[in-house]
Structure 1
Amino acid sequence: MDDDFEKSVESGLKLAKRIYNGKDRYVSVPTPVAMEKSSPSHQPTAPMFYAVISDPGIVDNPDIPSYQPYVHGPCDPPALIPLHLNEIGMESDCYLDTAFITIRGTWRLHCVMGSRSCDCRLVVPLGEQGSILGVEVDVAGRSYSTQLIQMEETHDLEKMAKHEHGGFLKPQMFSLTIPQVDGGSILSIKVSWSQKLLYTDGQFSLSVPFNFPEYVNPSGKRYATAEKIQLNVNTGIAKEVICKTTSHPLKEIRRKVGKLGFIYEEKVMTWSTTDFCFSYVVTSNDIFGGMLLQSPSIHDDDQREMFYLYLFPGNMLNRMVFRKQVIFLVDISGSMRGKPLENAKEALGAALSKFTPSDSFSIIAFNEETRLFSSSLELANKETVENATQWISGNFVAGGDTNILQPLDKAMEMLSEIHDPFSQIFLITDGAVEDEHNICNTMKTYMASRGHMSPRISTFGIGSYCNHYFLRMLALIGRGQYDAAYDADSINVRMQRFFAAASSAILTNITIDIFDHLDGIEVYPFPIPDLLSGCPLILSGRYRGNFPDSLTAKGVLADMTNSVIDLQVQKAKDIPLDKMFAKRQIDMFTAQAWFSESKQLEEKVTKLSMQSGVPSEYTCMVLIQSDKEKHALESTGLKEVKRIDSQKNAGSKEQRVRILLRGLNVGFGNVTATMENLPTGFGESDLLESEIAIAKALQCCSRMADCCCCLCCVKMCSKLNSQCVIALTQLCTALSCFGCLSCCVALCCPDSN
């Protein structure tokens, strides 16, 4: 996607040179410096609107028509011209470890003739672990808004759904298309999403994509325009909050214990050229925590009380952590070839370099077989780490199939000889396997047999083919951590952060005394994970009964002493607990629903998703178009609209069109792609299916060194896009003289044998 998208934007910027702005002023288009080795990236670094141009002949200034030389041929793929940004504002509300972002802005379709129209594509880069919550767009008397619907309602929409309509272009890059916008129109948007705050060394950090390229500034004579940022911080903690860094000159407008308010509003000539960043510290040297309580709304299907328990590691940088005793399990199957395996090597090497001589480790590389660096854990002295680095270079060679249970069993066998309260297994894979339920059950039995002495299992998924809910469930069973990299460029950074966080436990075997005395209580996650120095521990759930005014959390510190932490219980004020833990609970419930194959849990996820607006595997997002008389009249400049009986004229007053947005779900892995050893998938599910179909066709052809009589390809091509059809047709034509009747029968008539 990256290359195709950037090429389309590059083509759009070249087309934009055609636009005449009066007095020989043309749109300023950045050009690469001659000495630069590579062109500047055109990946969106802030919310952006693009004109989707298939016919270059419609490109012109809608206000000042000019002579345009004829352009031969359509743009294929369509060019993307970035629209001019007229107004932008951002609101950010931070609660504990979660931020809710709302962007409001207006763009103008400045590059299409007033008498013509084109589609306009909105692209929104989200922040850390971002989850889209909703989009509203108003343009020329039409309004568009996103809405979640149940899977059962998508059957009629599937036929007309296209990749271009919207969804995720790539991980954390949401997109949707507004059809047929007239040249010169103003597009007003409101987009909302949630994201996680990063926590490092006792410091919370927020980073929101807010870096606008120079070419979104209106051309010609410019006037100062308002740029506004509003930030609210509500930690829910009765402790002092200290601001550390900020990217924009914020003005403090409110300060209370645990609460801060800021605003930035300036008249600017050019829009922000840096992401909005803000960090703060909640002061405390020791471990501290608390419990927030809240009653559900009357619209909530679950009327049990809500709680949100947090434990923070404090700001002591030299706090003692548990000695590392780690076995790394790294997938080296054929699909890991290239960037995934190279990044895994780098991340593993970086992790080993941070081990101390008192730490110990081993490495298991696996495909359908296992290769051991050592049959037992080795102390991480300088010589051993150097030997491990050489062993990785010689043994991390991609090839073969994927077997996850075998290396897990071997790691459990190696750790069974260690009587230590904190040993770990790190599993890294990019594939899905058929025996995932059996793996979870086997590990669950093993964990129960060893109790508090059982090792932690942390999992890291790469790409789109692996079953991320299996990996999440396995980490939940193993009281470990889960993380993932959905695009190739983030593998190394995320994996290093994953290793560092998961191996920095400071408090283990945590128990909360009140949990055993409440009726109807649900705790997520459970069993309770360890408290790590690199991130807070968050527990949420529902209960019946009454909490006392204070309670305690107990656990074991790294020096093997017991620790008791007093937790203050308070009612949550001005903190939307249901919104805060919606994403976390949806992910956990989905993993449990996959594992237990429970329809009841699937329905629970569906209800929670519809109620919170957070997408899930059992809901789909649609774009709803509404055409209203009121909006149409207001767009002509009329300030008053005569009221019309809505019941009598309901049919003529509003028309609603629903467009399905694809690619918002992670899915439950792709065993077929893993078995075919396709390269790690980072694309949308539609494209992945096409890749699998092509791989199967090529395997069919290679068996007989030819490509059949095209009947099998006709069947397959009906499910592919036009480019795939052209490529396969050319291949079949070139090789058709050889014939391959048996291959056709095998593919087209599999039941004939």
Structure 2
Amino acid sequence: MEDFARAVEDGLKLSKRLVLPGGLPPPRPPAGMERGPDAAAALLLPAAPMAYAVVSDPGAVDTPDVPSYQPYVYGRLDPPALIPLQMKEIDLAVDCALDTAAVTLRARWWLHCITRSRECDVRLVVPMGEQGSILGAEVTVGRMSYNTQVTEVEDQTMENTMKGILKPHMFCLTIPQVEGGADIVATVRWSQKLHYDNGRFTVDIPFRFPYYVNPLPKVFMKREKIQLTVNSGFSKEVLLQGTSHSLKEKARQGDKLSFLHEAVVENWSNKDFTFSYSVYSGDLSGGIHVQPSISQDYDDRDTFSIFILPGSGNRKVFKKAVVFVVDTSGSMKGKPLENVKNAVSTALSELVQGDYFNIITFNEELHSFSSCLEKVNEKAIASANDWMNANFVAEGGTDIMHPLNEAMALLSSAHDALPQIFLMTDGSVDDEHDICQTVKNELLSRGSKSPRISTFGLGLYCNHYFLRMVASIGKGHFDAALETGSIESRILKWFRKASNTIVANISIDATGHLNDFEVDSEYIPDISTQCPLCISGKYQGKFPETVVATGYLADMTEISIELKVQHITDMPLDNIFAAQQIALLTAKAWLSADKQLERKVIKLSIENSVLSEYTSMVVLQTNLDAAQKVKQKPKGRTGANEPLRFQLHGLKLGFGDKAATRENLLTAFGDEKPLEMLKIFKKAGGCCSRVADCLCCMCCIKACNRMNDQCAILLAQVCAALSCLGCYECCAEVCCGGSES
């Protein structure tokens, strides 16, 4: 992200050429830009929806209406500078239902930094919240419209492509050739998870706009609108806990609330939008929501969801027998392994008297902190930290099966505690299918006493669907970190969610009343104090009025939770659970290689506009004037007025990179990339290497020594001519090849 920050810094410097009405000074780069690349990136990365002018020709930078008559600037910028555009209007709509928030954002920018006689690309960047998943975008510029669409992956790669993501959970869309002074109106939709902590649900949306996107107050009125609806899904009182922006309650009807904030503001928001609420629940409580299937295309069964809150009854947490299984292969070198070590050290400090633990590191070999489970005490924790400092060394390859078997063997002696394995890796291995089968066999053989296996993926080289499948089979939790800076915090959140179990071995008695009952996950996970239980599935038949969920508490007594069945129409369950269903079905399709499951994922993905591994997101460019004039054509015929299609890339995770794992390439994160040489050095290196290939032979050198003067002169002239041609080609490509936006 250092390159992006540097491009924005260049753009802010370039905007000094602008002479704004009213004599206001142009924006300045934030103070502290010289403190290092990390500080620069943190200051200039978008923390709210932003639009940037992609400027390759500095001579085009000027105010659209009032020329500044600045001296002409020659040359081109490579890479281009990014000038933040001023925003005229913002409208945010948030719909919270169960554990998910559906967000719709509409904003209007204007290209204030390019003269009207010139054009440039405009790049939109929209940061999303917790586990954000893009659903679609619509952009209108004059009479041109750009719309995203999820389609089935085509056999042939499109010629027109554009980058669809700047960094994880940060959607990016480039609009080509926008005329100076034009308005850019964008509507972006995404879904994200609500954060749950101590009985409180919180939605957190990046909404911190820098001061330099504020247009002149005397020229433009800045309209800010925020709409919020809450549908808890329970027939219980919803308690408001806090909000970052002033909201006026519009309506309250049982468990449904709506709020509104609308005003003409002097400056755009300088803080994220957060809203917290809780559902009154003294103890474990929940419900079942059922809804007729909207689509008969991919599954004609009806939809259900089970939602159970842990409550505030201070239920006792299970004693834990924990084994941390940590990848220390060579690809984990540097910050990834250091952050993992810090997270494991913090997790160890959160264990209590009566818990057990052990640590296993693996690469091509296996190393254990102890030969057996250790009781938690200050001395054991201190020894474990010393052992990690000495043994967390990144080297060697990756072998997951051996340490996983060793961890399950260690936990076979844990009779008075809940056995749990926490696997952390950044690699993809060849025997992933065998590992899944081994975990499934262990679960079947040990029954309710089988270890819970939670998995955590680091970077882009690991197979996230393999790790998700292992966690689903092992009744554990899956999470991943796609940015180096988020590793430690996400591991701790993942560990706390999985380790604070209050009800285990949950079963539902609905199967006796229904013809068909299928949960999306392999097994129903345990209930934790750190997150509500929220699962979905399909069924056929008729639910009774109440269903009983049974499980076991920490003292091994059985508990029954009565779940009232609610037939709902105002909450789209298929949309709420679409991303979760697609991820789980994709993991199942990967494991079983079932083409029918893949087709089901494709249909589900297209219908809900949620991208999957088997679909693509494309941008359709349409001329609105031409679209109105064109008459409907017979099927199978194409014309010049059909929308131009651009494929967005970088939005999918893939199924791991075994080649990168075997070669021990450093962990790939969305915020890092390998250093690249300048083009001229690449060219020079290529020329030199080819010449060296020809002259490295000793026989060739001896032959040159025996040449007479005439042959030597001729050879020198030929080499000089070839060198001139090579330099001409190199300079032509580097200097005159144009610029990429």
2:551 to 548, 555, 567: 555
1:623 maps onto 2:577 in alignment = no
TM-score, L = length of structure 1: 0.88
Taking the aligned partners of 1:439 and 1:35, their CA distance within structure 2 comes to 49
Deviations 1:220-268 (A, max 9, x none): 7355422100000001100000000100011111112211110011110
Give the drift of 1:415: 1.2
Cα distance, 1:35–1:646 mapped onto 2, change above 3 Å:
closer
Q: TM-score, normalised by structure 2?
A: 0.90
SS at match of 1:262: strand
Task: Report if the CA contact (8 A) 1:11-1:79 is conserved.
Answer: yes
**Equivalent residue runs for 1:486-525 within 5 Å:** 486-525=482-521
Deviations 1:559-609 (A, max 9, x none): 211000000001113101010111111000000011111111111100000
**What letter matches 1:369 in structure 2?**
E
Which sits farther off after the overlay, 213-222 or 318-327?
213-222
* Corresponding letter in the other structure for 1:13: L
1:460 lines up with 2:460 in the alignment: no
**What corresponds to 1:296 in structure 2?**
293
| Matched residue, 1:3 | 2
Query: What are the Cα deviations for residues 331-353 of structure 1, in whole angstroms up to 9, with x where unaligned?
Result: 01100011100100110011011
Which residue pairs with 1:682 in the alignment?
669
The code of the aligned residue for 1:679 comes to L
| Alignment of structure 1 residues 217-616 onto 2, 5 Å | 217-219=214-216, 221-297=218-294, 300-316=297-313, 318-420=314-416, 422-616=418-612
Deviation at 1:72, TM superposition (A): 3.2
Partner secondary structure for residue 118 of structure 1: strand
Equivalent position of 1:730 in the other structure: 684
CA, structure 1 residues 206+6, in 2 after alignment: closer, same or farther (shift >3 Å)? same
CA distance in structure 1 between the aligned counterparts of 2:16 and 2:669, rounded to whole angstroms: 34
Sort the Cα spacing of 1:515 and 1:483 in 2 relative to 1 into closer, same or farther, 3 A. same
Instruction: State yes or no: 1:131 paired with 2:116.
Output: no
User: Measured at CA, do residues 742 and 484 of structure 1 come closer, stay the same or move farther in structure 2, by a change above 3 Å?
Assistant: farther
* Further displaced range: 16-25 or 383-392: 16-25
Q: Would the alpha carbon gap of residues 645 and 122 (structure 1) be closer, same or farther in structure 2, given more than 3 Å must change?
A: closer
Contact kept in structure 1, 2:288 and 2:564, CA below 8 Å: yes
Look up the equivalent residue of 1:348 and give its one-letter code.
Answer: V
Check 1:659–1:367 CA distance in 2 against 1; reply closer, same or farther (3 A cut): same
Q: Which residue in 2 is equivalent to 1:664?
A: 651
Q: Displacement of 1:132 after TM fit?
A: 0.3
CA distance 1:113–1:509, shift in 2 (3 Å)? same
Q: Which amino acid aligns with 2:68?
A: S
The letter for the 1-side match of 2:156 is H
Aligned to 1:714: none
Offset of residue 552 of structure 1? 0.3
Q: For 1:173-214, what per-residue CA distance to the aligned partner results, in whole angstroms no more than 9, with x for missing partners?
A: 110100000000001111000000011111101001111110
Correspondence for 1:155:
156
**Residues 648 and 425 from structure 1, CA distance in 2 versus in 1: closer, same or farther, beyond 3 angstroms?**
closer
Name the SS of the counterpart of 1:327 in structure 2. strand
**Structure 2 counterpart of 1:116, which letter?**
R
What CA distance in whole angstroms lies between the structure 2 residues aligned with 1:521 and 1:309? 12
**2:693 matched to 1:739?**
yes
| Equivalence for 2:726 | none
**Structure 1 Cα separation of the partners of residues 512 and 695 of structure 2:** 68
Instruction: Show the counterpart of 2:720.
Output: none
Instruction: Give me the whole-angstrom Cα distance separating, in 2, the residues matched to 1:541 and 1:101.
Output: 24
Deviation, structure 1 residue 652: 8.2
State the AA in 2 paired with 1:306: T
2:110 counterpart letter in structure 1: R
| TM-aligned CA deviation for residue 66 of structure 1 | 2.3
Aligned match of 1:99? 101
Cα-to-partner distance string for 1:696-752 (whole Å, 9 max, x where unaligned):
xxxxxxxxxxxxxxxxxxxxxxxxxx9576544333445556539999xxxxxxxxx
Partner of 2:721: none
Unaligned runs of 5+ in 2: 698-741
Q: Which moved more, 1:70-79 or 1:470-479?
A: 70-79
Q: Does 1:122 align with 2:124?
A: yes
1:75 aligns to 2:77 (yes or no): yes
- Name the counterpart of 1:715: none
Q: Distance in 1 between matches of 2:481 and 2:696?
A: 41
Check whether the contact 1:629–1:654 (CA below 8 A) recurs between aligned residues. no
Measured against aligned partners, the alpha-carbon deviations of 1:469-504 in whole angstroms (never above 9, x if no partner) come to: 000001111111100000101001000111111100
Please report how far the alpha carbon of residue 370 of structure 1 lies from its aligned counterpart in structure 2 after TM superposition: 0.6
Aligned-partner Cα distance in 2 for 1:191–1:588:
25
Q: Distance in 1 between matches of 2:633 and 2:382?
A: 81
Q: Tell me: CA distance 1:24–1:194, structure 2 relative to 1, closer, same or farther (3 Å).
A: same
1:241–1:740: structure 2 CA closer, same or farther, 3 Å change rule? farther
Instruction: Determine the C-alpha separation between the residues in 1 that align with 2:606 and 2:695.
Output: 51
Letter of the 2:287 counterpart:
G
Q: Could you say which residue in structure 2 is the equivalent of 1:716?
A: none
CA contact (8 A) 1:87 1:227 kept: yes
- 2:732 corresponds in structure 1 to none
Q: 653, 657, 660: which is aligned to 1:673?
A: 660
3-state secondary structure, aligned to 2:596 = helix
Q: Name the counterpart of 1:183.
A: 180
Pairing 1:52–2:49 present: no
Correspondence 1:42 to 2:41: no
- Distance in structure 1 (CA, Å) of the matches to 2:239 and 2:380: 43
1:682: how far off?
A: 1.1
Partner SS for 1:155? coil
| 1:156 Cα deviation from its structure 2 partner | 4.3
Q: Distance in 2 between matches of 1:23 and 1:517?
A: 73
Relative to structure 1, is the Cα distance of residues 280 and 70 closer, same or farther in structure 2, using a 3 angstrom cutoff?
Answer: same
Maintained 8 Å contact 1:222/1:269: no
Q: Residue type of the partner of 2:101?
A: A
Q: How does 1:698-709 map to 2 (within 5 A)?
A: none
Partners of 1:171 and 1:125 lie apart in 2 by: 9
* Closer/same/farther in 2, CA of residues 742 and 271 from structure 1, 3 Å limit: same
* Aligned-partner residue type, residue 631 of structure 2: S
Aligned residues: 692
Q: Any unmatched runs of 5+ in structure 1?
A: 632-642, 695-721, 744-753
Provide the C-alpha distance between the structure 2 equivalents of 1:672 and 1:150, rounded to a whole number of angstroms.
27
- Supply the distance in 2 between the matched residues of 1:613 and 1:653 (Cα, whole angstroms): 27
Q: Name 2:734's counterpart in structure 1.
A: none
Shift of 1:34: 9.4
Which structure is larger by alpha-carbon Rg, 1 or 2? Answer: 2
Q: Is the 8 A contact 2:160 2:645 kept in 1?
A: no
2:321–2:417: 8 Å Cα contact kept in structure 1? no
* Partner residue in 1 for 2:67: 65
Of residues 392-401 and 443-452 in structure 1, the stretch that sits farther from structure 2 once superposed is: 443-452
Q: CA deviation at 1:19?
A: 0.8
The one-letter amino acid paired with 2:516 is G
Q: Distance in 2 between matches of 1:345 and 1:187?
A: 46
Contact 1:368 1:400 in 2 (8 A): yes
Identity of aligned residues (%): 49
Post-superposition shift, 1:41? 1.0
